Structures are given as C-alpha cells and as structure tokens.
C-alpha cells in the first residue's frame, strides 16, 4: 500500500481536501517516463484527459502530500477536474474532495480506477487513468498489466485494472 496519508483533524463531507500537484508534461513524455518508472516499481503519473489526452501530471520529483494517498475500492476522497485561473480544458487541476465525513486519524484514500459520481454531469467526462504499478503507489498513463488490489475494503474489486 505504500506510505499512506492520515488526517490530523476531522474533515466534513464535500470539503476540499487537497490538490494533486506535480510537473505538467506531455502524454508522450509520460509514456517514456512511465516505462522507466515501471522498472523502478513506483510512479506518480496522473493523466489530464478531461477532453483529450495531451498532458499528464508527474508528481515523482515535484508535488505535495497527495502522491502518498493510497488507493481504496471504498475511498473517502473523490477526484474532480477544476478550472482555476485557466479555461484551457486540456489543463484541469486535480482536486480531491471528501465523499463522507472523515474522522481525525483516518487514512485518506481515492479510487485509482475511479467511477466518477454521476450526480455531477460535467464530471462524467473525466477519466483519470491513474494506475498502480509494481505494488507501490503510482501509475503510468496506460495500465500495463492486471494489478492485484490489496486495499482490504469489503467491496474490494480484487484487481485495480
């Protein structure tokens, strides 16, 4: 599962929790880096494919605490594309919001193979393609094999991809 992140304080449902931050690179560069990262066993690539697959966020060398957030098939965070000071739909910012009240001390998780909440019609266009490679937090723009899930949730799908 990797390191993981726990909250020190209670978080209310629907609250903004954090942004997934990293270096913005082209999807071609992400594919190249992904092959290197796959050999190392851990990567932090998150495709920005809200309207087209042009850019990827790479949090391997530049990022924040978000790249330590683990996967769960029953997550307490949901990912949304947001646009702040930018109207280029190829460059959304990745925001994580609480799906339910979260207790102090609880681990923060999101679904790396997420199914976007259909309540938000705009967000149904989002598909992150965020994947887990080599058993550590991280991914590549394209899943390169069937990865076993070890989240432990009662609703676990057994495989990420």
What pLDDT digit, counting tens, does each position of 4-55 carry?
Answer: 899 999 999 999 999 999 999 999 999 999 888 888 877 788 888 878 889 9
Cβ 47 vs Cβ 129: under 8 Å:
yes
Q: What is the mean pLDDT of residues 117-137?
A: 39
Annotated binding residues for Zn(2+): 73, 149, 151, 156
- Following DSSP, what letter does each residue of 71-112 receive, concatenated? E-SS-SEEEEEE-SS---TTS-EEEEEESS-B-TTPEEEE-T
Q: What is the mean pLDDT of residues 48-74?
A: 89
Cβ 97 vs Cβ 80: under 8 Å:
yes
pLDDT-derived band of residue 146, with 50, 70 and 90 as boundaries? low
pTM of the predicted model as reported, rounded to 2 decimal places: 0.77
At residue 159, the pLDDT reads 80
Q: Which residues pair with 95 in a beta bridge?
A: 19, 80
At residue 150, the pLDDT reads 83
CA separation for the pair 130, 20 (Å, rounded): 12
Burial of 118 (0-12, 13-18, 19+ CB in 10 A): exposed
Q: Higher model confidence: residue 124 or residue 110?
A: 110
Q: What are the structure tokens assigned to 40, written together?
A: 């190392």
Listed in sequence order, the residues at least 6 apart from 37 whose beta carbon sits closer than 8 Å to its beta carbon are 43, 45, 60, 133, 138, 140
Burial of 61 (0-12, 13-18, 19+ CB in 10 A): exposed
Average confidence score pLDDT of the chain: 80
At residue 37, the pLDDT reads 85
* Fold designation for 5-110: Beta-clip-like (2.170.270)
At residue 161, the pLDDT reads 63
Annotated binding residues: 73, 149, 151, 156
């Amino acid at each position: 599962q990797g390191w993981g992140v726990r909250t020190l304080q209670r978080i209310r449902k629907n609250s903004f929790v954090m942004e997934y931050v990293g270096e913005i690179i082209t999807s071609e560069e992400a594919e190249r880096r992904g092959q290197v990262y796959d050999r190392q066993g851990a990567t932090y690539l998150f495709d920005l494919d809200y309207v087209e697959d042009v850019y990827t966020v790479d949090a391997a060398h530049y990022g924040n605490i978000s790249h330590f957030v683990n996967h769960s098939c029953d997550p307490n965070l949901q990912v949304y594309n947001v646009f702040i000071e930018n109207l280029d739909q190829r460059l959304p910012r990745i925001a994580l919001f609480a799906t339910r009240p979260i207790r102090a001390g609880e681990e923060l998780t999101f679904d790396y193979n997420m199914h976007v909440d259909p309540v938000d019609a705009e967000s149904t266009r989002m598909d992150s393609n965020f994947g887990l490679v080599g058993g550590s937090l991280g991914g590549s723009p394209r899943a390169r094999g069937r990865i076993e899930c070890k989240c432990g949730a009662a609703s676990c799908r057994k495989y990420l991809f």
